[in-house]
Structure 1
């Protein structure tokens, strides 16, 4: 990476990390803390307060991505972070479950993932973009692991309101990073054609990635409806679950760095991608077979393998989407991609809870395995985009120069 690419990747990964840390800190304690609010004894309303974030985010990812194509990435990112901070503040001062629902909905309305990813794609070359996206994916995975350790400790000291206050401060800090650390975004010619939704939806390669990101995040969230209970059933107290999560996440980063980047440079990105999809499917089958008699060792191995596949997909999918999308429609394409990602979270939580209640963990993991196999079949015809020629790179550089 060039110094400018390292600066762009580091600053935008930091924005993702700080924002996602604020979100993840709330999730491990939300259901327990929300029960103390008036109306918090209704599980369906608590579930609505948790899930409405994914719904509003899913509905607004595409408008934010399209707006970033027209009005500039940084403006849209700052606006979204302000809305996210406002939602965090509303949730922090809420005294009822309805107030929490409004705050969570506003948090989701700050849907900047597409604009941030598009800005990162604008500022990195094709040959290093997967590495840049991996920095973002790694930061999200690391924040998830950190939150599992920190959330119970902070929640006991400052409560749910305090956690939302921390989230608000982190969002405001992200605005400072955007304005003063992230490199200036490329300036495109005013007569550059703008992307249309029909142009994005008619692209077969992008559609495969959109289907994939929906399935991946639906499976991810559905898994975590059942995994904590299986760990408890295996004899691991809930305050020690991080003993399994944290090593699995950290070790998977080393596996990703040692496989994805070298094999991509050798032209084997498609094989790595399909292998990661297949690995996550095998993990679901493994969880299906151990669901009745889980042990800490088997669950630890399966979760390590899951994060190996998941992190490879988290790094390669947005990179592929940004490379397949026409440059003038990159924000729109990533808006659709992130919309499906958010809706996958929403569907995974809602359907995962229903499946666990009605057919048990085994039925949940069987469904997740089936979804992953559907994705594997849909992804099989994909082809990794060819590297750009020197003339194409020069042409892109000339277009991005004011």
Structure 2
């Protein structure tokens, strides 16, 4: 019988790694609402180069995300996490010391090069048991959303008080604190759990990349972050032109974020429990189109801009919750970790394109053109999302097998014949079974009973 209560070590690992992940994300997002306003005072700055400074972080992340995840299998999780955070600190210090936009661009590129997300997830997988891993991963996911909201509010406040250089020094300090927590709080892992549900596996990428349902979702997360970055290249300047000083922007972000968080939860419950995910997803993309059109037509009207920001954050926060859930549902059994790795890379490609293209358009034409192009991109995304089918409402399980069960040639057939099981693969070399189940029909305990009965 499994104990579903987290052990002290599991709680320490979850809170420690969640804090490390959040500190780094805080450093990434705090720059977003302030760089386009305060960054224009840097030597050589232009709208296009500010956009490049925002976007190059995503490009570096996209390049190093998967290689760093695979490298952590060889050199160890904690050494890679510490090394990635040291690179992030170095980038932050370079940006803090620089008075030129090119120095900030170099610093941002180094910040993005310290891609530790995959290693954090892999270490969390090593340090938690199967029955508690989903809770631990969910904690990391929730911390991402909360961190984004805090960063959008904190960025303008810190920058107003300490300047852009002071902001980068604070980001360096936060990453240093992440290193201390990794060394002193996060437990070390004695063995690496090869878990295809949380880690990337060589040889699995071709199947993930050729899956049309996953491709549509990867296109979706790329579009979402193109829209986020391009919108925030243009938005701070528009708020200033509407009469709101840059140091007051946090008030708009705080109010709209709080309303968005309160509104999102009922919609997530409706999508998951009532199994209306496609309907909510398509409606969400349509809401982004409306938000971009409202921002495009706002001009110097403050309340119209605030309405556009509110609609955008509502859709963005909801989509950030829906998309990972859809990836989990649509990925084949045993391929979830690899699918999430490709998904994260697509997300950071969106960051790179959105920042760079948004800055270029803002400099070449104006902010209204950025919003209009955002509405056109979201319309294309809407057309793609309407071709999606309703996802299977299934959960992924990994169950460890003893030697007898791993060798049993009949185990896969027995699992597939069980009520509520849609997919099952056995990986004897890993001593694991990967199963997709309908949690309204069956659960982990039932699956383990089948496996134990087979092995007996």
> TM-score if structure 1 supplies the norm length?
0.81
Partners of 1:203 and 1:247 lie apart in 2 by: 40
Q: Deviations over 1:277-331 (max 9, x none)?
A: 221112112223x233x42222222211211110011122123324433565444
Contact 1:7 1:183 in 2 (8 A): no
- Match status 1:15 vs 2:23: no
Contact 1:131 1:261 in 2 (8 A): no
Question: SS at the partner of 2:366?
Answer: helix
- Match status 1:64 vs 2:68: yes
Contact 1:215 1:371 in 2 (8 A): yes
- Match status 1:246 vs 2:254: yes
Contact 1:117 1:334 in 2 (8 A): no
Instruction: Determine which structure has more spread, i.e. the larger CA radius of gyration.
Output: 2
| Distance 1:244-1:320 versus aligned 2 partners, 3 A rule | same
- Match status 1:387 vs 2:394: yes
Q: Which residue of 1 aligns with 2:117?
A: 113
- Greater fraction strand: 2
Partners of 2:77 and 2:392 lie apart in 1 by: 24
Q: Which residue of 1 aligns with 2:92?
A: 88
**Range that drifts further, 71-80 or 359-368:** 71-80
Q: Deviations over 1:209-251 (max 9, x none)?
A: 1111111111111112222233233332332222211100121
- Match status 1:354 vs 2:382: no
**Range that drifts further, 26-35 or 47-56:** 26-35
| 1:35 Cα offset (Å) | 6.6
Which fold has the larger relative contact order, with Cα–Cα distance below 8 Å and residues 6 or more apart in sequence? 1
Question: SS at the partner of 1:214?
Answer: helix
- Match status 1:364 vs 2:373: no
- Which of 330, 333, 338 is residue 339 of structure 2 equivalent to? 333
In structure 1, stretches of 5+ residues that fail to align are: none
Partners of 1:311 and 1:198 lie apart in 2 by: 30
- Which of 118, 138, 143 is residue 151 of structure 2 equivalent to? 143
| 1:262 Cα offset (Å) | 4.8
Q: Which residue of 2 aligns with 1:164?
A: 168
| Distance 1:267-1:371 versus aligned 2 partners, 3 A rule | same
Partners of 1:9 and 1:269 lie apart in 2 by: 29
Question: SS at the partner of 1:384?
Answer: coil
Partners of 2:251 and 2:385 lie apart in 1 by: 34
Contact 2:65 2:341 in 1 (8 A): yes
Contact 2:84 2:114 in 1 (8 A): yes
Q: Deviations over 1:148-185 (max 9, x none)?
A: 22222132xxx51x433322221232234445347969
| 1:13 Cα offset (Å) | 4.2
**How many positions carry a matched residue from both structures?**
389
Q: Which residue of 2 aligns with 1:104?
A: 108
**Range that drifts further, 108-117 or 121-130:** 121-130
Q: Which residue of 2 aligns with 1:287?
A: 295
| Distance 1:42-1:66 versus aligned 2 partners, 3 A rule | same
Q: Which residue of 1 aligns with 2:44?
A: 41
Partners of 1:18 and 1:317 lie apart in 2 by: 23
| 1:105 Cα offset (Å) | 1.9
Question: SS at the partner of 1:235?
Answer: coil
Contact 1:87 1:102 in 2 (8 A): yes
> TM-score if structure 2 supplies the norm length?
0.72
Q: Deviations over 1:73-107 (max 9, x none)?
A: 55543432232223223444557655444332221
| Distance 1:125-1:35 versus aligned 2 partners, 3 A rule | closer
